[in-house]
Amino acid sequence: MLEINNLHAEVDGKPILNGLSLSVNAGEVHAIMGPNGAGKSTLAYVLGGRPGYDVTGGSVTLDGADLLEMEPHERAAAGLFLGFQYPVEIPGVSNVQFLREAANAQRAARGEPALSGADFLRLAKAQAEGLSMSMDMMKRPVNVGFSGGEKKRAEMVQMGILDPKLAILDETDSGLDIDALRIVGDGIERIMRKPDRAVILITHYQRLLDHVRPDQVHILSAGRIVRSGGPELAHALEREGYAALGLEDARS
């Protein structure tokens, strides 16, 4: 589904990704771990097409289509969803309005008819319930005044409504209490664990992976994947830390 080949990218002229390659098949969940500053969020932003993140080499395809050629909104319509490490607050725009615009923009781009107001509200209600969010919260402005954990749950409601092919979730587990972690983990499983879907979970901790079991775990360090393995790699990391794996130089 996703093929990243020898990707190089820089931010403000500073090289951050240095020849990153990764292949994710439909039906798979991949975890990416790695020290602070390794380039995990940068990878997510580069895939999402964030302005200021310049690709200087390599290629990325989503279901065979050149992702890097697309505008950010076209990538979303092509089935990419980015869960933000720091979800953005948008005063004056309600979650419901925001998501209805987004869902119908994606449908229009794919040549599908728009959802009616009633159909959309039904969908929003079902997805919000699935993540224990009230419709009252959905009527509030996007992420404004939401706690850290509420923002992450709201992002999962967005994912449920937009129903992407590939989700890249950047530290969706950070800031979640024990119950919320389970709710979010279950939500990811329910929405994305399907033969034609795939997920990349960026995380620092094993605990999310207890809820969403990865098929592969990768360690990203200094802008490239330096080690890949099965779920046991995350356990080893949790026990021993990056230094024991010979990765302490990533913080230079």
Partner 1 sequence: MTLTLPSAREEAWRWTDLSGLPAIVAAVPDAGRDALALAAMPAAIASERTDTRLLFVDGVLHSSSTPGRVRLSAVDARTDHALGRHATADGWTLDLAPGQIANVEVVHVATGAASHVPAHVILAPDAVASVTETFVGDGWTNRFFRAELGKGARLMRAVRLLHASGFQSLRDEALLGEGASLVATVLGAGEGSSRVDALVTIAGEQAFAEYGGAMLARGEQRHEAAAVVRHAAPHGQSHQSWRAVADDRAVASLAARVEVARHAQKTDGIQSLKGLLLKRTATVNIKPELEIFADDVKCAHGATVGELDRQSLFYLASRGVDPARARAILTRAFVADALDRIGEEAVRDAFVADADRWLDA
Ligand X SMILES: Nc1ncnc2c1ncn2[C@@H]1O[C@H](COP(=O)(O)OP(=O)(O)OP(=O)(O)O)[C@@H](O)[C@H]1O
Residues in touch with partner 1 (CB under 8 A): 48-51, 71-73, 75-77, 81-82, 84, 87-88, 90-93, 97-99, 101-103, 105-106, 109, 142, 158, 162
User: What does 73 bind: Mg ion, ligand X, partner 1, none (CB cut-off 5 to 8 Å by kind)?
Assistant: partner 1
Token pair recorded at residue 117: 């107001």
- With tokens 């002229």, the residue in question is 13
Quote the least distance from Cβ 204 to partner 1, whole Å: 22
Q: Which stretch binds ligand X (CB under 6 A): 8-16, 92-100, 146-154, 155-163?
A: 8-16
Cβ closer to ligand X: 46 or 142? 46
Quote the least distance from Cβ 59 to partner 1, whole Å: 21
Cβ closer to ligand X: 150 or 171? 171
Question: Do residues 103 and 161 touch, judged by C-beta distance below 8 A?
Answer: yes
Number of residues lying near Mg ion (CB under 5 A)? 3
User: Does 38 sit near ligand X (CB under 6 A)?
Assistant: yes
Interface pick for Mg ion out of 41, 158, 216, 221 (rule CB under 5 A): 41
Quote the least distance from Cβ 127 to Mg ion, whole Å: 26
Cβ closer to Mg ion: 41 or 216? 41
User: Does 48 sit near ligand X (CB under 6 A)?
Assistant: no
Interface pick for ligand X out of 42, 143, 158, 216 (rule CB under 6 A): 42
User: Does 47 sit near ligand X (CB under 6 A)?
Assistant: no
Number of residues lying near ligand X (CB under 6 A)? 13
Cβ closer to partner 1: 103 or 233? 103
- Residue 123 has a CB neighbour count (10 Å cut-off) of 17
SS (H, E, C) the chain: CEEEEEEEEEECCEEEEEEEEEEECCCCEEEEECCCCCCHHHHHHHHHCCCCEEEEEEEEEECCEEHHHCCHHHHHHCCEEEECCCCCCEEEEEHHHHHHHHHHHHHHHCCCCCCCHHHHHHHHHHHHHHCCCCHHHHHCEECCCCCHHHHHHHHHHHHHHHCCCEEEEECCCCCCCHHHHHHHHHHHHHHHCCCCCEEEEECCCHHHHHHCCCCEEEEEECCEEEEEECHHHHHHHHHHHHHHCCCHHHHC
Cβ closer to ligand X: 16 or 128? 16
Most distant CA atoms of the chain, gap in Å: 55
In the complex, which residues of this chain contact ligand X (CB under 6 A)?
Answer: 11-12, 14, 16, 34, 36-42, 85
In the complex, which residues of this chain contact Mg ion (CB under 5 A)?
Answer: 40-41, 85
